[in-house]
Amino acid sequence: MVSILKLVVVKLGGSAITDKNKRYTPRYDVIENIAYDVKKLSEKFQLILIHGGGSFGHPVAKEYEIHKGFFSKKQILGYSKVRYYMTMLNQIVLEKMIEAGVPAVTLHTSNIAIAKNGEIFSMDADKILKYLNLGMVPILYGDAILDLNKGFCIISGDQIASYLALKLRPWKVVLGTDVDGIYSKDPKKHPQAKLIQVFSISEIEKIRTEKLEIDVTGGILAKILEMEKVVETGIPVIIGNITIKNGLLKLVKEETPKYTKIIV
């Protein structure tokens, strides 16, 4: 039996669910709050959860340069470590979901997807749909996976979110972070930074040429670029803070005054 509930693809940012300043440090309180939000949301929506790596995946991936593909036998142990630490973080997320009463199930990204030149080449979306139609909440995560040309590579949670959005056509895509949305400057360094509540894809070139500082890592530009093709198909993409109580719940419903909607 196919559910008629609206589908929402939710990305839980690594900066929100981990302390990026300390290796392998989850933010248990944030994950627990998110889990209870997911429980409430799952009563009204079908949900696919995708989480980032934060302080679990990024340090090791960077140390062994896994994102560059296979070029040295010294990287093999690093690939294994990335997979190990991402599984560790995923188990914490999964545990908190189950404790909150969410029928969550992990689909390990490396087992259902393969890449080509750093982009997702194929992913078993049918398996994800089967879990959804059973009333379960599939969880995937950014990970090191096999690459047809490079040997292996890193696939981000944002890449997974955009790939599944284009395949499954959800009601909306929600990108949860540790800030209220896209800002004119890094709000952690510049208190006067202004929240951009509606961001047009056409502004990307302006960001590139003016080299605007719009988040701590510069990763927000990569998010926008990844979501460009999603927005162009008419699927709304919203970005906001999920580290506060009921943050995800209000963000999905767009009941919070502070968030950014990306439009064409």
Q: What whole-number distance in Å separates Cα of residue 54 and Cα of residue 80? A: 17
Query: Which amino acid type is present at position 5?
Result: L
Vertex 29: Cα angle to 12 and 63 (nearest 5): 55
Note whether residue 206 is domain-resident. Answer: no
- In the chain, DSSP finds a helix count (H) and a strand count (E) of 10, 14
Enter the pTM of the model.
0.93
Q: pLDDT-based confidence at 2, cuts 50/70/90? A: very low
Check which CATH number belongs to the domain holding 163 and give it: 3.40.1160.10
pLDDT digits (tens, 9 = 90+) for 129-144: 999 999 999 999 999 9
Contact by Cβ (8 Å): 33, 245:
yes
Note whether residue 227 is domain-resident. Answer: no
Q: What is the mean pLDDT of residues 151-177?
A: 97
Host domain of residue 253: 6-181+234-261
Q: Is the pLDDT of residue 209 over 90?
A: no
Query: Which amino acid type is present at position 158?
Result: D
Note whether residue 215 is domain-resident. Answer: no
Q: What whole-number distance in Å separates Cα of residue 92 and Cα of residue 97? A: 9
Note whether residue 78 is domain-resident. Answer: yes
pLDDT digits (tens, 9 = 90+) for 65-98: 999 999 999 999 999 999 999 999 999 999 999 9
Per residue, the 3-state secondary structure of 5-22, as one string, reads CEEEEEEECHHHHECCCC
Q: What whole-number distance in Å separates Cα of residue 175 and Cα of residue 238? A: 6
Note whether residue 44 is domain-resident. Answer: yes
Note whether residue 226 is domain-resident. Answer: no
Residue whose entry in the numeric block shows the structure tokens 């690594």:
14
Q: What whole-number distance in Å separates Cα of residue 257 and Cα of residue 30? A: 20
Note whether residue 163 is domain-resident. Answer: yes
Note whether residue 208 is domain-resident. Answer: no
**Phi/psi at 250 (5° precision):** -70, -30
* Overall number of domains in the chain: 1
